[in-house]
C-alpha cells in the first residue's frame, strides 16, 4: 500500500475556512490568484502523498455562484510552444482544456488575458482569434521594462495603465493559468490599478501551495518546488518583510518578494494603507499544518527531484525544452539532498536488464514495493512488456499465460506494417491494451488484467530509452510516474 503523509480532509476544511475569511476582509471585489494547478495538481499529490489532485477545485465549487475565472497565459510561452511537464500539451491547448473543464463543473470562465505582449506575436494572435471565434473575451497585457522593481513606472499610465482593463461581473475573480510564469500576479495587480482609477474597492489574496511557508527553507518539499520551477529559476528564500514585521521566519520565493513593493504601492493608492505586512501575509496556505507524516513527505519529495532531473535530461535531448542552467539547478538541489539518480528504485533494474539483453528495457515499481521488469520482444516494446507483466502480477495471473493470443496479435501487426506504413511490428502500450480488451470477452484472465489497470496509477516506471510520443501519452493517461534515460532507441531522427 502507498504510504500516506498528508491529511487531505483536514486541508480542505482549513483552507476553505481561511479563503472565506480572506474574502470577508474586502468589501468590494477580491482578486484571488491561484498558484499551481486547479485541476490535476499531480506535483502536489506526488510530494504530499495523500493530497488529492482536485482539492482546490472542490473548495472553489462551494463559491461558484460568486466566482468567475480569468485565465492568464504568457505570449512568450505561446511563442515557444511551452508544454506542461505532466501532460505534455502546449500552453495554448491547455488554455482550451481548462475552459472546457471549468465549464463542465459549472464554473464561469469570464475571459482570457494574454500577458507579456511585445509587438506582433503570431502564436498569441492565433490563440486570440480562436477564442474570439468561440465568443470568449480576450484581453492584452504588455511587457513592462523594469518589472517588478521599477515601481514608479509600473504603477503609472505607461505601466499598468497601458494594459487592457478586464471586464468582470462577479465579486470573486479567480486568476489562474496553464502553468508557471504566466503572469497571474501581474494580472491581479494591473486590475487593482484599473479598479482604483474607476473608484471600485478591490482587494487581492493568493491561494498558494508551494513553497510551504512554515516548513524549513531546505525542507525537501520546498526544494522539490525549486526543482519543478527550475526553468523559471525560482528560488525559495526567507521572507525579509515577514521577518522584519514579526521577527518570525517564513519561506517564500523570489518573485513574490520582489513584487511585494508593487503590491504595497497599489494598495496605498487604493486605501492609503497596506493590509499586508509581507508577501507571506497575502498568501493563504494551510499545507504545512496538514502534513501527517513528515518522513513520508520528505522521501516523496526527494523522489520528485530525481524525476525532475531525468525529465530535464530527456527534454534537452528531444528538444521540447532546453533552458540554460536548468539542469545545473536541479543537480545542485540533488547535491543538497545527497541524492544520486540510482536512488530511484526502478533505475538499476531497468539498466541492468538492458545490459543483460542488449535491448531497451523498463521497470515498474508497484505500490507494494514489487518491481516488475519488461524487455524488448519480437511482439512488444519494453514499455508494453513491463505493463503487461505488471497486470499479470496484479491480477494473479501465471506469467506463462498469453493475454494476447497469436490469432489476435498477428492481424494487428499485419495492419501496422502492411496498411499503415509502419516499420515496427511491436505493439505499443495502447495497442496491447486494446488487444487484451478484445480477448477479454473469451478469456477471464484478460478480463482480470483489465480490471487491474487502475492499480497502475501512481506507480513508478523507468525506461532505458526515450519512449515514443504515443507511448508517452499512454503512460501519462495511465497516471504512471515515468522517467527514462536520455537516449533514443536506434538512430532515426523522426519519431512518433
Same domain assignment for residues 84 and 145: yes
Residue-level pLDDT at 186: 92
**Rounded CA Rg of the chain:** 24
Can you tell me the distance from the alpha carbon of 203 to that of 28, in angstroms, rounded to the nearest whole number? 8
User: Within a domain: residue 51?
Assistant: yes
Same domain assignment for residues 118 and 259: yes
Same domain assignment for residues 279 and 351: no
User: Within a domain: residue 441?
Assistant: yes
343 vs 324, residue with greater confidence:
343
Whether residue 368 is predicted with pLDDT greater than 50 in this model: the reply is yes
Mean pLDDT of 140-169: 92
Same domain assignment for residues 269 and 359: no
Q: Which residues pair with 140 in a beta bridge?
A: 114
Same domain assignment for residues 245 and 369: no
Mean pLDDT of 95-116: 95
Residue-level pLDDT at 435: 92
Tens digit of each residue's pLDDT (9 = 90 or more) over 391-421: 999 999 999 999 998 888 888 888 888 888 7
262 vs 247, residue with greater confidence:
247
Confidence of residue 83 (pLDDT cuts 50, 70, 90): confident
Residue-level pLDDT at 419: 84
Same domain assignment for residues 94 and 220: yes
The answer to whether the peptide bond before residue 360 is cis (omega within 30 degrees of 0) is: no
Whether residue 442 is predicted with pLDDT greater than 80 in this model: the reply is yes
Same domain assignment for residues 234 and 381: no
For 173-182, b/e burial (b = at least 16 CB within 10 A) is bbbbbbbbbb
Torsion of CA 199, 200, 206, 207, to 10 degrees: -170
Whether residue 93 is predicted with pLDDT greater than 80 in this model: the reply is yes
Can you tell me the distance from the alpha carbon of 489 to that of 159, in angstroms, rounded to the nearest whole number? 51
Residue-level pLDDT at 476: 93
Mean pLDDT of 72-92: 88
- Report pTM: 0.85
Confidence of residue 495 (pLDDT cuts 50, 70, 90): low
Whether residue 491 is predicted with pLDDT greater than 70 in this model: the reply is no
Which pairs count as long-range contacts for 96-103, CB under 8 Å and 24+ apart, including other chains?
96/130, 98/38, 98/39, 98/71, 98/176, 98/178, 99/71, 99/136, 101/39, 102/69
Whether residue 28 is predicted with pLDDT greater than 80 in this model: the reply is no
Domain count, the chain: 2
Whether residue 48 is predicted with pLDDT greater than 80 in this model: the reply is yes
Tens digit of each residue's pLDDT (9 = 90 or more) over 183-228: 998 999 999 999 988 988 888 999 889 999 999 999 999 999 999 9
Same domain assignment for residues 110 and 239: yes
Residue-level pLDDT at 84: 80
User: Within a domain: residue 44?
Assistant: yes
Best-predicted range by mean pLDDT among 33-42, 81-90, 182-191? 182-191
Q: Answer with the one of 255, 279, 294 that is the final residue of a domain.
A: 294
Query: What percentage of residues in the chain have a pLDDT greater than 90?
Result: 69
Same domain assignment for residues 255 and 403: no
Confidence of residue 320 (pLDDT cuts 50, 70, 90): low
User: Within a domain: residue 253?
Assistant: yes
Mean pLDDT of 287-316: 97
User: Within a domain: residue 327?
Assistant: no
Residue-level pLDDT at 220: 98
CATH number of 380's domain: 3.40.140.40
Residue-level pLDDT at 292: 98
Same domain assignment for residues 282 and 353: no
Tens digit of each residue's pLDDT (9 = 90 or more) over 262-301: 888 888 877 778 989 999 999 999 999 999 999 999 999 9
Same domain assignment for residues 45 and 161: yes
Query: What percentage of residues in the chain have a pLDDT greater than 70?
Result: 97
Where does residue 358 fall: left (phi above 0), alpha (psi -120 to 50 degrees), or beta otherwise?
left
User: Within a domain: residue 337?
Assistant: no
CATH number of 37's domain: 3.10.630.10
Whether residue 353 is predicted with pLDDT greater than 90 in this model: the reply is yes
Residue-level pLDDT at 494: 47
Whether residue 85 is predicted with pLDDT greater than 70 in this model: the reply is no
Residue-level pLDDT at 347: 98
Tell me the pLDDT of the chain averaged across its residues.
91
- DSSP string over 200-263: --EEEEEE--SS-TTS-TT-HHHHHHHHHTGGGT--EEE-HHHHHHHS---EEEHHHHHHHHHH
What's the domain range around 212?
Answer: 8-294
User: Within a domain: residue 201?
Assistant: yes
User: Within a domain: residue 198?
Assistant: yes
Q: Answer with the one of 294, 329, 364 that is the final residue of a domain.
A: 294
Same domain assignment for residues 388 and 453: yes
Tens digit of each residue's pLDDT (9 = 90 or more) over 325-345: 899 999 999 999 999 999 999
Q: Answer with the one of 259, 294, 329 that is the final residue of a domain.
A: 294
Amino acid at each position: 500500500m502507498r504510504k500516506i503523509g498528508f491529511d487531505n480532509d483536514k486541508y480542505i476544511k482549513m483552507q476553505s475556512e481561511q479563503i472565506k475569511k480572506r474574502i470577508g476582509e474586502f468589501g468590494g471585489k477580491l482578486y484571488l490568484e491561484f498558484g499551481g494547478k486547479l485541476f490535476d495538481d499531480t506535483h502536489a499529490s506526488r510530494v504530499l502523498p495523500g493530497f488529492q489532485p482536485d482539492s482546490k477545485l472542490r473548495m472553489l465549487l462551494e463559491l461558484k455562484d460568486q466566482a468567475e475565472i480569468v485565465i492568464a497565459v504568457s505570449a512568450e510561452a505561446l511563442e515557444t510552444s511551452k508544454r506542461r511537464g505532466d501532460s505534455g500539451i502546449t500552453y495554448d491547448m491547455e488554455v482550451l482544456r481548462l475552459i472546457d473543464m471549468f465549464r463542465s463543473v459549472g464554473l464561469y470562465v469570464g475571459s482570457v488575458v494574454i500577458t507579456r505582449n511585445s509587438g506582433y506575436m503570431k502564436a498569441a494572435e492565433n490563440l486570440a482569434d480562436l477564442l474570439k471565434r468561440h465568443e470568449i473575451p480576450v484581453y492584452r497585457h504588455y511587457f513592462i521594462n523594469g518589472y517588478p522593481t521599477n515601481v514608479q513606472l509600473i504603477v503609472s499610465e505607461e505601466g499598468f495603465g497601458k494594459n487592457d482593463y478586464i471586464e468582470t461581473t462577479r465579486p470573486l475573480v479567480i486568476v489562474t493559468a496553464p502553468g508557471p510564469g504566466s503572469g497571474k500576479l501581474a494580472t491581479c495587480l494591473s486590475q487593482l490599478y484599473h479598479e482604483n482609477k474607476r473608484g471600485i474597492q478591490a482587494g487581492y489574496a493568493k491561494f498558494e501551495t508551494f513553497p510551504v511557508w512554515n516548513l524549513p527553507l531546505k525542507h525537501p518539499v520546498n526544494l522539490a518546488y525549486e526543482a519543478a520551477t527550475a526553468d523559471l529559476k525560482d528560488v525559495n528564500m526567507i521572507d525579509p518583510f515577514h521577518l522584519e514585521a514579526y521577527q518570525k521566519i517564513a519561506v517564500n520565493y523570489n518573485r513574490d518578494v520582489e513584487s511585494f513593493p508593487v503590491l504595497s504601492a497599489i494598495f496605498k493608492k487604493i486605501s492609503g494603507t497596506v493590509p499586508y505586512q509581507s508577501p507571506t501575509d497575502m498568501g493563504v496556505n494551510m499545507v504545512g499544518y496538514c502534513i501527517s507524516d513528515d518522513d513520508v513527505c520528505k522521501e516523496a519529495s526527494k523522489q520528485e527531484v530525481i524525476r525532475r532531473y531525468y525529465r530535464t535530461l530527456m527534454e534537452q535531448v528531444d528538444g521540447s525544452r532546453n533552458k540554460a542552467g536548468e539542469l545545473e539547478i536541479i543537480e545542485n538541489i540533488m547535491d543538497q539532498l545527497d541524492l544520486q539518480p540510482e536512488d530511484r528504485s526502478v533505475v538499476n533494474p531497468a539498466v541492468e536488464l538492458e545490459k543483460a539483453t542488449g535491448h531497451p528495457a523498463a521497470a515498474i515499481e508497484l505500490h507494494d514495493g514489487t518491481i516488475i521488469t519488461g524487455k524488448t520482444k519480437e511482439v512488444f516494446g519494453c514499455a508494453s512488456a513491463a505493463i503487461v507483466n505488471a497486470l499479470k502480477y496484479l491480477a494473479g495471473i501465471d506469467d506463462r499465460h498469453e493475454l494476447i493470443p497469436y490469432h489476435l496479435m498477428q492481424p494487428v501487426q499485419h495492419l501496422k506494417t502492411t496498411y499503415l506504413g509502419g516499420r515496427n511490428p511491436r505493439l505499443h502500450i495502447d495497442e496491447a491494451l486494446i488487444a487484451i480488451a478484445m480477448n477479454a470477452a473469451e478469456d477471464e484472465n484478460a478480463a482480470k488484467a483489465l480490471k487491474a489497470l487502475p492499480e497502475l496509477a501512481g506507480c513508478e516506471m523507468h525506461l532505458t530509452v526515450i519512449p515514443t510520443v504515443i507511448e508517452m501519452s499512454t503512460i501519462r493517461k495511465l497516471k504512471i510516474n515515468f522517467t527514462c534515460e536520455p537516449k533514443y532507441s536506434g538512430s532515426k531522427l523522426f519519431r512518433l
